[in-house]
Amino acid sequence: MPRTTTLDCPGCPPLRALTFDELGLIKARGKQGRAEPKVVERWGDPDSSKCVLAASIHDRKSDPLLAVARRNGTVEVLNPLNGDLRFAVSNSSNNGVQPEDDPVAGLHLFAKKKLELASRSCTLLTCTTKGNASIRSFEVNKPSADVSSTGSSRTWSIGDGGSILCSKVDGSENYFLLGGKRVEMNVWDLDSCAKIWTSKPPPKNSLGIFTPTWFTSATFLSKDDHRKFVAGTNSHEVRLYDISAQRRPVISFDFRETAIKSVAEDLDGYTIYVGNGSGDLASFDIRTGKLLGCFLGKCSGSIRSIARHPEFPVIATCGLDSYLRLWNVKTRQLLSAVHLKQHLTNVLFDSNFADEEAEVAHSAADWPLHEDERGEGETPPMKRKKSKEKKGIEKDAEAKSGNKESFEEYGGKKVKSKKSGKRLKM
């Protein structure tokens, strides 16, 4: 049954975030109306074998789709509005390896290819930890039992003997990025299924110590440019790569002392958000590696996923402390926190979510700005006028005490003083 809880979240716009946990549950957190209740819808039954390993959403206004990859090797496509299952397919490989031994490490639900196809079908890209990648198309309007792969299905190997832990598809959906433990960062062309670039590990340090390859998270820096991307490592290092410049990192810097677990890009193309295994969350200017600031209020567990809202200046984080948190990227302050009981693995925004029962429509322009971020033409909010009754009470109190506050000028400065019936001696 859906659960409802109310939290104080002043000024937060209507948002809908989907969270995924280790027991296979999918929960939708929303905000409605002026009273700001927080609604949590739970889909599924607790089952550790159905732990959600990866998720991807195509949140178009009509017929949105949500894809989730589970630990038992099943990939499900659902309706993100009500949780109805559209179809489910197995991701087991043809070489006889069990899904539990080769779990899904990356999942992407194509948005542009779905628009190009005349029939109602969806295209999925899956990648396993042992490097088995596949692109398959499925009919959406068929019953779940009759679903089969349609069109050309491509399967190829992208592993180099290690374990793939992170992957990402760029905004044009033409390039695929991946990396992991003992697997250098690779960029693949999805049209030809060919590798076009491979990173080179950094050299030994001054002490002659070589750091083994262990990438934990990665993201493209801009949706319009696949040449630059950011990767986080298990040795608490953040690296910027530019495949048009060199194979080694262009910029590299450390963040605290625990492994980087999640990175996300901002809409401006140069700001990134980094979360680590000890619950620290910060934003960096990746052009210089400068720390812009840490988010106020530390998480009490490892941060496993960061999502940036495409319209509002808000990011969502979740992790092993079982909390979904919403943050203002301008002030880096916590907006809302919801405890969801299970360890969370992923979080996504449904950006086209619209609350029909909301009394006041919010937009990105209505977002409250910080005092230091107001434009020249913007004026600070007016102070609320005191009521006549309150003014009368204050006047009576001043008349009884004979004191009255005023401002007097001394040396060209106005100084606050209290006047009484007696004159001030100079």
The dihedral built from the CA positions of residue 367, 373, 379 and 380, taken in this order, carries a sign that is positive
Which value, to the nearest 10 degrees, does the dihedral of the CA atoms of residues 303, 309, 310, 312 take?
A: -140
39-42, long-range: CB < 8 A, 24+ apart: 39/2, 39/4, 40/2, 40/3, 40/4, 40/5, 40/338, 40/340, 41/2, 41/83, 42/1, 42/2, 42/3
Residue type at 385 in one-letter notation: K
Q: Are 327 and 280 in contact (CB under 8 A)?
A: no
Q: Are 46 and 24 in contact (CB under 8 A)?
A: yes
The secondary structure of 332-389 as a DSSP string is TEEEEEEE-SSPEEEEEE-TT---TT-SS---GGGSPPPGGG--TT--PPPPPPPPHH
- Which tokens sit at 208? 């002659």
Is residue 405 classed exposed, middle or buried when 0-12, 13-18 and 19+ CB atoms within 10 A define those classes? exposed
pLDDT at 11: 54
Tell me how far apart the alpha carbons of residues 233 and 353 are, in angstroms, rounded to a whole number: 34
What SS3 state is found at 291? strand
Q: Are 312 and 336 in contact (CB under 8 A)?
A: no
pLDDT at 99: 75
pLDDT at 293: 96
Tell me how far apart the alpha carbons of residues 60 and 136 are, in angstroms, rounded to a whole number: 20
Pairing of strands 237-242, 65-70: unpaired
pLDDT at 100: 78
Task: Tell me which residues of the chain have a pLDDT lower than 70.
Answer: 1-13, 30-40, 93-96, 113-120, 142-152, 353-426
